[in-house]
Amino acid sequence: MKKFFVTCAAILLLLTNSAHAAYADLLNNAPLHPTATGDARCDAAVQETLSRITTYDMSTYDKVLACYVYLIDTCRYGDNVLRHDFPEDNGTARAYGMLTGHVGACDDYSCAFAALTRAIGLNCYTVYGQTARASGGYTGHIWCVIAIDGVEYVFDPQIDDNIGGSSFYRFCVTYREVDGAYYDGKVRYGYFEPFY
């Protein structure tokens, strides 16, 4: 029986490593078009955060992973009060509030991730829809998608923060890979829209 569990663990590790290799290849070969939010305060917070968690010689995959891990490690779920410092409740207000206050809801996690990865150059945008609840059914939610070669890859740091642990279940996965996790009947673009 012990041999069975060791074999299962080895297969899971191999699958995880090959999945990360595929994600790395995908992100490292994506075309980059660095994009700022257009708000000086938010763009300053984005650049300051990127300068702390990434280096120029890191691969795109490593930068994206650093952004994801940073949000999960330094932020917590709650009320993003700093967004109220802005004249309107938009993606830049939510990204700024999350990056400077480290507290927010799903839309704040997603806006911060989108602002960071768009600055890296990826076509990342936020999506409104519904996600599966642990207790059953669906609930309103906002997550990120990075579009590469016409395929949408889900990134959901708030859900992975809730799940906990060192594995990420919503990092660079297609909707098919997380079948049933998102209800796509009412999905629409959120605070950050696709830029091409």
Residue 180, both tokens: 């049933």
Residue pair 123/147 in contact by the 8 Å Cβ criterion = yes
**pLDDT (tens digit, 9 = 90+) per residue, 67-107?**
999 999 999 999 988 888 888 888 999 999 999 999 999 99
pTM beyond 0.85, yes or no: yes
Query: Would you say residue 196 lies in a domain?
Result: no
pLDDT value at residue 153: 95
Look at residue 139 and give its three-state secondary structure. Answer: strand
| pLDDT classification of 17: cutoffs 50, 70, 90 | low
Which range of residues forms the domain containing residue 115?
A: 2-189
Query: Would you say residue 42 lies in a domain?
Result: yes
Query: Would you say residue 57 lies in a domain?
Result: yes
CATH number at residue 79: 3.10.620
| β-strand partners of 124 | 146
